[in-house]
Structure 1
Amino acid sequence: MFEPSANVSEAFFRHLVQTHALGHRGFHGEDHWRRVLFNGRMLAAATGANLKVVELFALVHDSRRENEDHDPEHGLRAAHHARTLRGTWFDASDDEMELLTEACRLHSDGLTAGDLTVRVCWDADRLDLGRVGLRPSARYLCTDHARRPEVIAAAYRRSLLGADA
């Protein structure tokens, strides 16, 4: 179930769901977005990352995928799309938009260094790898909190079950 916040409304979530051309039966649709949102909220609370950026990333990062397999430009398309949504569906400062677009643009590149908020975005996504049959590895996570064995185990269980929390 989607839980709105001061940063992401139910209407915004529904808009993204309805305009996601790929559909939601695969690995990169609304169920994944909700788990990334859950992971991101947990990580932001533990690390002090910018919650607004993390929540926006969770919903936007895969919203412009064109297929479920190799789609190297989907992060760049998501970053551009986020800029078009600003001012209509959410407000964000210029600094927050820079973080959001960087997180979206580079989230599939395997990077682990950078701004804390960007790293939390990437970890929130990577913790949901169970949906594609992979257990997240601490080696590819960016924050100490995400690398904790109990965090990885809980996220892996959620992704296998398809559960939001």
Structure 2
Amino acid sequence: MKMKKENIAEIARQAEELLSPFCTCRGLVLHGISHLRRVAILSGRLSKAVGEDVESAVVMGFLHDSARKNDGNDIEHAHDSAILARELIERFFPHLDVDRICDAIEGHADGEVTKDPLTACLWDADRLELKRIGRTIDTELLSTKVAKRLARRRQHGLKVSEEVLQSRKPEGFLLVPQPGEGV
């Protein structure tokens, strides 16, 4: 099924609607459907910035943790997700480069960088998501210049927010927006 190319959020919505019933990660807190959605959208935005196919990046982002069974150390999740992704892409998206996408999914948890721009979109999007659980993003593990810039902006935003929160009295906490959150 070729998706309409309106915008990245719409492509992600269509991918989620079509693919989420097949995902074993439904119900997970850290690696559930909302994580897949965020990685899909960010992967799509990165793909646009580096001149890669947006639909491929969004579908890949949505499927990268699709076969995860738990939020812990699921060491086979990348391999299992690549197998599930292959089945779903061949069924619903035969026009996409299934080998390239599945190779990217298979390697996304290995802690490496890549020169392949489409693969980089997924790996960088997933690593940029680490901020949501309070982890520092190691820019040396990002493959694209645009992701490195985003990481620096997000880290700066986190530091600013922590300083503001620490300077407030407990009754005066404010939610401080994070610069760069809207990629």
* TM-score for both structures, normalised by structure 2: 0.72
Count of residue pairs brought into register by the alignment: 153
Structure 1 residues 97, 21: closer, same or farther in 2, change over 3 A? closer
Contact conserved, 1:27 with 1:131, CA < 8 A, in 2?
A: no
What does residue 3 of structure 1 align with? 9
What does residue 173 of structure 2 align with? none
Shift of 1:125: 0.9
Determine what percentage of the aligned residue pairs are the same residue: 27
Contact conserved, 1:43 with 1:145, CA < 8 A, in 2?
A: yes
Structure 1 residues 69, 52: closer, same or farther in 2, change over 3 A? same
Shift of 1:80: 0.9
Shift of 1:66: 1.2
- Misfit runs of 4+, over 6 Å: none
Contact conserved, 1:136 with 1:152, CA < 8 A, in 2?
A: no
What does residue 130 of structure 1 align with? 131
CA deviation digits over 1:30-84, x for unaligned, max 9? 1111211221122111111222221111110111001111111111111111121
Shift of 1:147: 0.4
What does residue 74 of structure 1 align with? 77
What does residue 45 of structure 1 align with? 48
- Counterpart of 1:153 in 2: which secondary structure? helix
Shift of 1:151: 6.6
Contact conserved, 2:104 with 2:122, CA < 8 A, in 1?
A: yes
CA deviation digits over 1:7-26, x for unaligned, max 9? x663x423533333343341
Q: Aligned letter for 2:138? A: S
RMSD in angstroms over aligned alpha carbons? 2.6
Contact conserved, 1:127 with 1:152, CA < 8 A, in 2?
A: no
Contact conserved, 2:16 with 2:37, CA < 8 A, in 1?
A: no
Structure 1 residues 152, 136: closer, same or farther in 2, change over 3 A? farther
Shift of 1:120: 1.3
What does residue 109 of structure 1 align with? 110
What does residue 55 of structure 1 align with? 58
Structure 2 gaps of 5+ residues are 1-7, 159-176
- Tell me whether 141-150 or 74-83 shows the greater mean CA deviation: 141-150
* TM-score for both structures, normalised by structure 1: 0.79
What does residue 27 of structure 1 align with? 30
Larger radius of gyration: 2
- Counterpart of 2:10 in 1: which secondary structure? coil
Contact conserved, 1:53 with 1:99, CA < 8 A, in 2?
A: no
Structure 1 residues 111, 92: closer, same or farther in 2, change over 3 A? farther
Structure 1 gaps of 5+ residues are none
Shift of 1:150: 6.5
Q: Aligned letter for 1:106? A: G
